[in-house]
Amino acid sequence: MKAENIAGDALEAVTVDELHKSFGDFEVLKGVSLSARQGEVIAIIGGSGSGKSTLLRCINMLEWPTRGRVRVHGEEIALKSDGHGGLMPADRKQIQRIRTRLAMVFQSFNLWQHMTLMQNVIEVPVHVLGVKRDEAIAEAETLLKRVGLYEKREAYPAFLSGGQQQRAAIARALAMKPEAMLFDEPTSALDPELVGEVLTVIRDLAEEGRTMLLVTHEMNFAREVASEIVFLHDGRVEEQGEPQTVFDNPQSERLKKFISTVQ
Ligand code: ADP
Ligand code: MG
C-alpha cells in the first residue's frame, strides 16, 4: 500500500543518500543509498558486520554519519562538521523533532526494567510528546491488546518471555505514532518457538501499510512482507530489488553465497 501525492509520486518516508560512516579509521558504511516510500517495507539483509545496525543507527540518529545525507519525510537532517572529519547535528531542535517520528525496535528489546509494561508504553508519549496521562493510558491499553499483552500490562519485563517483551517493545514503539519503524533483528534473540508470535505482529503492521526498515535473518519472512530487499555487504549495497528477483535470481556471487548459508 503506497500513499500517493497529488503529483502521483509515492511520498518518500526515509531516504539515505551516499551515507558513509567510519569509526576511527575503520569505514563501516561506504556510500549507502536507499529510499523507503510511505507504506513500503524495506528488508535489509547481509552478513554479520556488514553494517546493517550502523545504517539503522545513522537513520535513527543514534550515530552521526561521517558523510552523506538522511531525509525523513522529505526533511533533510541538518549536519555540520564536527571538526574531526565527521558530522554532527546543526540543529538540536530538529533532531528532537525528527527522532519522535521514527521508532526503533532492537534485538534485545530494551524495555525499561524498573517499569511495568504500561509505564514503558506511556513513558515517551507523556514525558516527551506531551500527551495527557489518561489519554496515553487509553492508547496504551489499545496497543497492548493489539499485541496480546493487555492482561500483562502491570507486569514487569523480567517476568515475561522474550517474545512477550519484544511484543511490548513494539507496542511502545507504536505509542510514539511513528511515521516509520526501524527493526534491528527483532527476533534474533528469541528462542525459536517465540519467533512466530513476534513476526505475526510485524506482519500485521506491514499489512496495514506501515513504513518499515527491517533488518532480519528471517528470509522467508522478508520475502513475504518486504516491498524491496537490500543486500548489504561490507558497507555497500551489493544488490537490491523485489524479493522474488533478489531471492530467486540473485546476480552477485556474494548474494548467492549468503542466501545459501541462511536458508
Ligand atoms: P551488522 O549489524 O551488519 O552486524 P554493524 O553495523 O553492527 O554490523 O557493525 C559493522 C562493523 O562496524 C563491525 O565490524 C563492527 O565491529 C563495527 N562497529 C559497529 N559499531 C561500532 C562502534 N561504535 N565502534 C567501532 N566499531 C563499530
Ligand atoms: Mg546488527
The pLDDT confidence band at residue 262, using thresholds 50, 70 and 90, is: confident
Mean predicted confidence (pLDDT) in 146-170: 98
Mean predicted confidence (pLDDT) in 195-213: 97
Q: What does the domain layout of the chain look like in residue ranges?
A: 12-108+181-262
The pLDDT confidence band at residue 8, using thresholds 50, 70 and 90, is: very low
Distance CA 122, CA 124 (A): 6
**What separation in Å is there between the alpha carbon of 202 and the centre of ligand 2?**
18
The closest of 79, 76, 63, 61 to 21, measured between CA atoms, is 63
Q: What are phi and psi of 67, to 5 degrees?
A: -160, 155
Q: Enter the C-alpha cell of residue 220.
A: 522467508
* Cβ neighbours around 78 below 10 Å, total: 14
pLDDT digits (tens, 9 = 90+) for 231-261: 999 999 999 999 999 999 999 999 999 999 9
Q: Of 3.40.50.300, 3.30.420.40, 3.90.550.10, 2.20.25.90, which CATH number belongs to 12-108+181-262?
A: 3.40.50.300
- As a whole-number percent, the residues of the chain with pLDDT over 70 amount to 96
What per-residue confidence (pLDDT) applies to 10?
63
> Is residue 50 within 6 Å of ligand 1 at its C-beta?
yes
What per-residue confidence (pLDDT) applies to 6?
47
Mean predicted confidence (pLDDT) in 182-208: 97
Mean predicted confidence (pLDDT) in 93-97: 92
> Structure pTM?
0.94
CA-based torsion, 248, 212, 189, 31: positive or negative: positive
pLDDT digits (tens, 9 = 90+) for 124-157: 999 999 999 999 999 999 999 999 999 999 999 9
Q: Which residues surround ligand 2, an ion (CB under 5 A)?
A: 52-53
> Is residue 188 within 6 Å of ligand 1 at its C-beta?
no
> Is residue 51 within 6 Å of ligand 1 at its C-beta?
yes
> Is residue 28 within 6 Å of ligand 1 at its C-beta?
yes
Closest residue CA from atom 24 of ligand 1: 23
pLDDT reading at 1 higher than 80: no
**Radius of gyration of the chain from its Cα atoms, rounded to whole angstroms:** 18
The closest of 255, 218, 213, 256 to 233, measured between CA atoms, is 255
